[in-house]
Amino acid sequence: MMRLMLLGPPGAGKGTQAKLLQQRFDIPQISTGDMLRTAVKAGTPLGQQAKAIMDAGELVSDDVIIALVKERLAEPDCVKGFLLDGFPRTIAQADALLAHTDIDEVIEIQLANEVIVARMSGRRVHTSSGRVYHTEHNPPKQEGLDDISGEPLIQRLDDAPETVSYRLEVYHKQTAPLIAYFESPHSEASHWPQYVTVDGSGEVMQVHESICSQLT
């Protein structure tokens, strides 16, 4: 049984590490965004409720999100464990999650803001194929052009330095209380997750091995 939760700012490499952990431990990666899309597409009662809320331009409530998570964790592929990515986002969500299931490890990938801004603002994308380049770490053969098609590469709005800086500000503001919540074991809890921190600035497999070496 390996019940994991992943924390980290945008651009810290959570998605890459989530896939590696999923493969290594043969557990599903669970994100609230994926769950919402699946439930809406399937037309489940919770999916219909979420769709009505989103269609009205409102945020899906904690009650609906938590109900979706509980529903997802009850599926057969979670019997050996799971990896939560992007949930919980608030202390209220964390309380509800831990009242429903145990979490064994909370993994926080740490990376300095300036490194994240440089990492994300250097990304360039070929929109029709999804191929991703980086101006420093993986540049195209010809500046600004896709290697295969020769078509122009773009910088996504989400990767613009000012957008990345804003997203980081929001992340740290929203997540700081959650980090403090998990870092300090609660004496009244019969089971409390181990809190693992890892430096996200290394090579992908270095970061992965650093995570795995700390898991119990």
User: In this predicted model, what pLDDT tens digit does every residue of 33-71 receive, in sequence order?
Assistant: 788 888 888 888 888 988 888 888 777 888 888 998 998
What is the per-residue pLDDT across 151-203, written as a single tens digit (0 to 9) for each?
Answer: 999 998 888 999 999 989 988 888 889 999 999 888 777 889 999 999 999 89
Average pLDDT (128-134) is 91
* Share above pLDDT 90 across residues of the chain, in percent, rounded to a whole number: 56
Q: Is 215 helix (H, G, I), strand (E, B) or coil?
A: coil
194 located within any domain: yes
Mean of the per-residue pLDDT values of the chain: 90
Q: What does pTM read for this prediction?
A: 0.82
Mark residue 144 as left, alpha or beta (left: phi above 0; alpha: psi -120 to 50; beta: remaining). Answer: left
53 located within any domain: no
Please name the residue that has the structure tokens 């896939």: 19
66 located within any domain: no
Q: List the catalytic residues.
A: 14, 89, 123, 156, 167
* Share above pLDDT 70 across residues of the chain, in percent, rounded to a whole number: 100
168 located within any domain: yes
Which pLDDT value is given to residue 81? 96
39 located within any domain: no
Which pLDDT value is given to residue 33? 78
Average pLDDT (124-148) is 93
Question: With bands split at pLDDT 50, 70 and 90, how would you rate the model's confidence at 130?
Answer: confident
Total structural domains within the chain = 1
Which pLDDT value is given to residue 200? 94
152 located within any domain: yes
How would you class 7 by CB atoms within 10 Å of its CB: exposed for 0-12, middle for 13-18, buried for 19 or more?
buried
Residue 107 has pLDDT above 80, yes or no: yes
41 located within any domain: no
**Beta pairing, strands 105-110 & 194-199:** parallel
Q: Could you list the residue range(s) of the whole structural domain that residue 165 is in?
A: 2-27+80-209
Residue 24 has pLDDT above 90, yes or no: yes
Cβ–Cβ under 8 Å, residues 24 and 83: no
- Take residue 175 and report the two structure tokens written for it: 């997540």
Average pLDDT (134-155) is 94
> Domain with 20 in it: what CATH number?
3.40.50.300
Amino acid, single-letter form, for residue 116: I
Residue 145 has pLDDT above 80, yes or no: yes
Who's near 127: CB < 8 A, 6+ residues apart?
154
43 located within any domain: no
